[in-house]
Structures are given as structure tokens and as C-alpha cells.
Amino acid sequence: KAGVTQTPRYLIKTRGQQVTLSCSPISGHRSVSWYQQTPGQGLQFLFEYFSETQRNKGNFPGRFSGRQFSNSRSEMNVSTLELGDSALYLCASSFGEGKNIQYFGAGTRLSVL
């Protein structure tokens, strides 16, 4: 069974640009969650999508957005990049019901110059 796949693995952008990250969940999983991880800050929740609908949202500005497609694949977009957006962005998938056990992808490391 294939795991969670995130693309690209590494990305370098400059301030003001926008970026789109992609996540393919484990087959059969309907929930996809996105997290931002920076040193010392743990995993900061961005948002969760379940059956193409945003079900939960963290405390991030509107520059961070996402969507989920009918095949459960998800994308995350960050517009008008800032230096502080440099981080590891992790995607996790789960069944979305019952015990919330999440399976993470390897992440996309975004560097904003």
C-alpha cells in the first residue's frame, strides 16, 4: 500500500511569489491535513479537508489556502510569500472518522529568499 506522497520535496522561492504544494493521500483515506513545522514550534495546524470540504482551519492568514479533489488529493497554496513562511510543510492523511490516526508524508521543505 503506497504511503502519503508530497511533491515537490524541496522548493526555493523569493518573497512575493506564490507556491503550490501537492499531497496524494493513502488510498481509501478521505481526510487530508496540512501542518507547518519550524524549529522549536512543533507542528502548527493549517487546515483539514474531508470529502472535498474544508472541515477545520488553524490560525494562519488568508494567504494560506487549500483544496481537495474528488480523488482525495489535496493542494496547498501560499500567496505573497514572506521570509517567515520558510518551513517544512507536512501533509497527513487519515480515514477522517473514528480514531484520528494520521499518516504523514515526507514533507515539502520551502525556503523563501
Partner 1 sequence: GQSLEQPSEVTAVEGAIVQINCTYQTSGFYGLSWYQQHDGGAPTFLSYNALDGLEETGRFSSFLSRSDSYGYLLLQELQMKDSASYFCAVDRGSTLGRLYFGRGTQLTVWP
Provide, rounded to whole angstroms, the least separation between the CB of residue 34 and partner 1.
10
Cell match 514572506: residue?
Answer: 82
Among 54, 55, 83, 111, binds partner 1 (CB under 8 A): 55
Provide, rounded to whole angstroms, the least separation between the CB of residue 47 and partner 1.
8
12 beta partners: 111
Q: Which of 86, 89, 94, 87 is nearest to 106 (CA)?
A: 89
Q: How many amino acids of this chain bind partner 1 (CB under 8 A)?
A: 26
Provide, rounded to whole angstroms, the least separation between the CB of residue 48 and partner 1.
5
Output DSSP code: residue 59: S
Contact stretch for partner 1 (CB under 8 A) within 16-24, 67-75, 77-85, 101-109: 101-109
Site mask for partner 1 (CB under 8 A), range 22-51, x = bound: ---------x-x-x----xxxx-x--x-x-
CA dihedral over 83, 88, 93, 96, signed as positive or negative: negative
Grid cell, residue 42, equals 512543533
Report 76-95 residues binding partner 1 (CB under 8 A): 90, 92
19 beta partners: 78
